[in-house]
Amino acid sequence: MITRQRTRQLFAFAVFIILASLDNAAAGVLPPLYAIIARDLQASDAALGAVTAVYLLIVAAAAIVWGYRGDQTERKPLLFWGTLVWVAAMYFTTLAQNFAQFLIFQMITAVGVGGISSLGFSVVSDLVPARRRGLALSLWSVSQGIGTSLGALLAGTVGAFDWRYPFWIIAGVGLIFALLFLLTREPLRGQAEPELAPLFAQGKRYDFRITRADLALMWHHASNRWLLLQSFFYALAYGSTLWIPRWAIARVQAEGYSLETATIVGNLIIALLSLGGFTAVLSGHLGDWWQQRSEQGRVKLAMLGTLVAAPLYVWLYFIPFRGLNLPETSNFVVLATAVLRTFVTNPWVILAFLVAFTAVTFQSADPPNWAAMITDVNLPEHRGTVIGLSRMFRAVGNALSVWLAGWLFAWLNGRLPEPENYAYGLAFFQILVIPALICYLILQKYIAKDKQAIATLLTKRAQAS
């Protein structure tokens, strides 16, 4: 019986993780295709950058609505319909004949994606034991990174032939997993909390649900305020990295290659440079270990990772891709083989890989530990809503970052040649890591107290039931 239950939980967790990766693939597929879509739909890079910015804002607004509704009722039906919305909208995006149609369908996609981000997080927090929360949420974080990389990879490969192909592929896979999702069982709300174990042992359920009055209570916790503010500044610093594929493409073009070849090669290089993101699993595990020994373990680890990553990113942006030896062909296999060869023969590409791997490794300490902290300081019936709110904070930061970066690149383009305008522009945004670190410094004063307050309240509720 226990084995069957564990298998069901693992299956549900795997489906949620893959759905999380697919919604990020839906978002990550666009930036690498800016140049090609702009040419096809007669739009500018700036206009497509605005699509990404508005997309992120709609995802965030939708996440709040989906999350709040999920904290009031069953989450499984909402997740299913949310997935169908973005799958259908991704398909209709491929039918767009002009920029206006493209914009409308991408905005509908964003509405559906918002549901996965908040509802899925709430469900995952109930699937895994509290003591393993960092590890589980690191897998959630890695899946999102994989999804973004998958979107970029599809954009840089099949998207180089027709920008619609990646949208078809992501929509098709999303539909498959939406149907698989129907086979999962929604976990009981609060079942992962040790304080509620006596309640569930008696066969009872945790029946508390969010109300409007709870919103003020959530904001009352200082930890929530500083975690949300930190997420804004973090997004402001790293939202601009959506332009990294464009930086890589410009680096390859600077070596004399065509846009089509540079699009494939640049995105392949970025996919390989992003491999350090897999170490988020180690960061989540390390966060669990440190937290069991110190009430400030997670916040210290997140601070350390953020502090070290920033200067490494600045270094990365100024590394050239000199001496590339690539065939001018649209054959993906031939180009992929040539790119892999450069990663062991070209000293500049090797250096870029080592710097990027280290930077991404340290940066990956933040997402899973931030997610574990905000889970720890919120009640089970509040988590979908608070994650929705965090998506709004992040979306505003990301949207500002993406828009400002596009404007900054254009302004620098008249003063610096490509790809130097991208290098200086991306490096500038690392300055904004400083206020994110200050938020963590202040958070250390409140995190232990607020976490204990939640544990005490859950214990009282279990005893009173």
For each of the domains in the chain, give its residue range(s) and CATH number, in order of start. 2-183+237-464 (1.20.1250.20)
Nearest one of 70, 50, 105, 280 to 187, comparing CA atoms: 70
Across the chain, what does the average pLDDT equal?
86
Give the highest mean pLDDT range of 28-42, 154-168, 253-267, 367-381.
367-381
Provide mean pLDDT across the span 373-381.
Answer: 91
Q: What is the pLDDT of residue 309?
A: 95
In degrees and rounded to multiples of 5, residue 327 shows phi and psi of: -75, 145
**Is the confidence at residue 444, as pLDDT, over 90?**
yes
Q: What is the pLDDT of residue 465?
A: 67
Q: What is the pLDDT of residue 19?
A: 80
Provide mean pLDDT across the span 244-265.
Answer: 84
Q: What is the pLDDT of residue 430?
A: 93
Q: Taking the mean position of all CA atoms in its chain, how far away is CA 366?
A: 12
- The residue with tokens 């839906």 is 26
Residues contacting residue 216 through CB under 8 Å, at least 6 positions apart: none
- The residue with tokens 């899946």 is 143
In order of 291, 298, 300, 449, the CA distances from 442 in angstroms are: 18, 14, 12, 13
Provide mean pLDDT across the span 74-100.
Answer: 89
> Whole-angstrom Cα distance, residue 106 to residue 147?
17
Q: What is the pLDDT of residue 303?
A: 95
Q: What is the pLDDT of residue 14?
A: 82
- The residue with tokens 């006596």 is 198
Of the candidate ranges 43-57, 214-228, 381-395, 402-416, the one whose mean pLDDT is the lowest: 43-57
| Residues 89-139: tens digit of each pLDDT | 999 988 888 888 888 998 999 999 888 878 888 888 888 777 778 877 888
Q: What is the pLDDT of residue 2?
A: 54
Residues contacting residue 47 through CB under 8 Å, at least 6 positions apart: 38, 99
Q: What is the pLDDT of residue 279?
A: 82
| Residues 13-39: tens digit of each pLDDT | 888 788 878 878 887 787 777 777 777
Pull the structure tokens for residue 288: 């669990």
Q: Count Cα neighbours of 353 within 13 Å in the Cβ-side half-sphere.
A: 17
**Is the confidence at residue 85, as pLDDT, over 60?**
yes
Q: What is the pLDDT of residue 188?
A: 83
The share of the chain scoring above pLDDT 90, in percent, equals 28
> Whole-angstrom Cα distance, residue 271 to residue 151?
10
> Whole-angstrom Cα distance, residue 296 to residue 9?
30
SS (H, E, C) 71-137: HHCCCHHHHHHHHHHHHHHHHHHCCCCCHHHHHHHHHHHHHHHHHHHHHHHHHHHHHCCHHHHHHHH
The more confidently predicted of residues 24 and 72 is 72
The more confidently predicted of residues 48 and 406 is 406
The more confidently predicted of residues 12 and 78 is 78
Residues contacting residue 324 through CB under 8 Å, at least 6 positions apart: 252, 255, 257, 265, 342, 346, 349
Nearest one of 336, 352, 169, 158 to 273, comparing CA atoms: 352
> Whole-angstrom Cα distance, residue 55 to residue 196?
38
User: Mind giving me the DSSP string for 166-178?
Assistant: HHHHHHHHHHHHH
In order of 23, 147, 227, 294, the CA distances from 143 in angstroms are: 10, 6, 22, 28
Q: What is the pLDDT of residue 339?
A: 87
Core vs surface per residue 288-307: b (16+ CB within 10 A) or e: bebbeeeebbbbbbbbebbb
- 408: amino acid identity, one letter: L
Residues contacting residue 417 through CB under 8 Å, at least 6 positions apart: none
Provide mean pLDDT across the span 140-167.
Answer: 80
The more confidently predicted of residues 198 and 12 is 198
